[in-house]
Structure 1
Amino acid sequence: MSLLSLRQMKTDIGQYSVLHDVTFDVPEGGVFVLLGRNGAGKTTTLRSIMGLWQPSPGSVLFRGEDITALHTAQIARKGIAYVPENMGIFGTLTVDENLVLATANGRFDPARLKRIHALFPALEKFRDKQAWSLSGGQKQMLSVARAIIEPRDLILIDEPTKGLAPSIVAAMGEAFREISADTTILLVEQNYNFARSLGRDMAVIDDGRVAHTGSMESFAADKALQDRLLSLSV
């Protein structure tokens, strides 16, 4: 059974129909990459999974359970975390305070906090600093760290490398590899080389529809398909 299954998901935002019969399966373990051009519907897909926008018709199944009609908080309690493109951190709170807000009972699990500091050493160094004072890369690290401060089965991550320096992108990739050893990641990413280095399985959304699904290995070997779906040659 797939960890996450989308079935004929259609999402309208106001008068605009954004997603059309989106169907794909995310297997448990590793990194599943969702690719597509700007405006193709990738972020809308993540937000629909998370209950921030309600798909109708269609369904979202998590471990075989239909979670389509659940509120976002209920979905989060199922073991799904969301790292939005805008990071969503609280600038006037410290690094530690941001992490505490993401815990279930307002207390750190020392082992998980130690793991986060090993993944992102800057968060330990600046744990008493207000989040607004961090660099862009450090803010992104904090956003990801909040998603894993509690045990999760699935993390939805939207455009984590956008605007980051190459050295930070490389560090983020190493962190994602370690995280994905025990937590499935559904990654939306415009940086194709970054996505290719991490992804095991993938799907491409084009104009609100799933245009391709398969293994990242086979997709990376098909230059013509890449150019057709992502315009990589341009």
Structure 2
Amino acid sequence: MSLLSLTGMKTDIGQYHVLHDVTFDVPEGGVFVLLGRNGAGKTTTLRSIMGLWSPTPGSVRFRGQDITGLHTADIARLGIAYVPENMGIFGGLTVEENMVLATRDGRFDKGRLDFVYGIFPALERFWDKPAGSLSGGQKQMLSVARAIIEKRDLILIDEPTKGLAPAIVDAMAGAFAEISAETTILLVEQNFHFARRLGRDMAVIDDGRIVHRGTMADFAADQTLQDQLLSLSA
């Protein structure tokens, strides 16, 4: 059984028809990548899964349970975390305070905190510093760390490499590989080189429709298909 299944998902935002019959399955384990150009519907797909926008008609199923229409908080309690493109951190709070807000009861499990420190050592160094004083890469690390401070079954991550220096992107790839060993990741990304390093399965969305599904290995080996669907030289 797939961990997450989207079937016939259509999402309208005001007068705009953004998603049209979006259907794909995310298997459990590893990284599933959703690729697409700007404005293709990638972010809307993630926000619809999290209940921030309501797909009508269509369904979202998580571990076989229909979660369509549930409140975002209830979806999160099922074991799904969301890292938005704007990172969603609180700049006026310290790194520690940001992390506390991501826990269920305001307390850290020491083993889990050590796990986070092992993936993102910089956060331990800046633990008592305002999050707003961090670099762009460090803010992205904090955003992801908030999603993993509690054990999750699925993490949705939107454009994590946007605006980051190549060295930080490399570090982020290593971190995601480690996280995906215990938690399934649904990754939205435009950086194909980054996505190719991590992805096992993938789909391409264009104009609100899924236009391709398959393995990342097959897609990465087909230059013609990449050019056709992504309009880039990967």
Q: Which residue pairs with 1:40 in the alignment?
A: 40
1:1-234 equivalence runs, <5 A: 1-233=1-233
Distance in 2 (alpha carbons) for counterparts of 1:110 and 1:103: 12
4+ residue stretches of structure 1 with deviation over 3 A? none
Q: CA RMSD in A?
A: 0.7
Q: 2: CA distance between counterparts of 1:65 and 1:42?
A: 23
Q: Which amino acid aligns with 1:47?
A: R
> What percentage of aligned pairs have identical amino acids?
80
Unaligned stretches of 5+ residues in structure 1: none
Tell me, in whole angstroms, the C-alpha distance in 1 between the residues paired with 2:46 and 2:107. 28
Name the SS of the counterpart of 1:178 in structure 2: helix
User: Could you list the per-position Cα deviations for residues 144-171 of structure 1 after superposition, in whole angstroms to 9, with x for gaps in the alignment?
Assistant: 0000000100000000000001111000
Return the offset for 1:198. Answer: 0.2
Amino acid at match of 1:50: M
Q: Give the TM-score of the pair, scaled to structure 2.
A: 0.99
- Superposed displacement of residue 233, structure 1: 3.2
Shift of 1:69: 1.1
Give distance in 2, aligned partners of 1:170 and 1:90.
Answer: 25
Shift of 1:65: 0.3
Q: How many residues align?
A: 234
Q: Deviations over 1:110-139 (max 9, x none)?
A: 011101111111100000000000000000
1:156 aligned counterpart, secondary structure: strand
TM value normalised by structure 1: 0.99
Q: Which runs of 5+ in 2 are unaligned?
A: none
Matched position secondary structure for 1:86: coil
Deviation at 1:232, TM superposition (A): 1.1
**Residue deviations 1:83-108 (CA, integer Å, cap 9, x gap):** 00000000011001100000001000
Q: For residues 100 and 184 of structure 1, what CA distance do their matches in structure 2 show?
A: 23
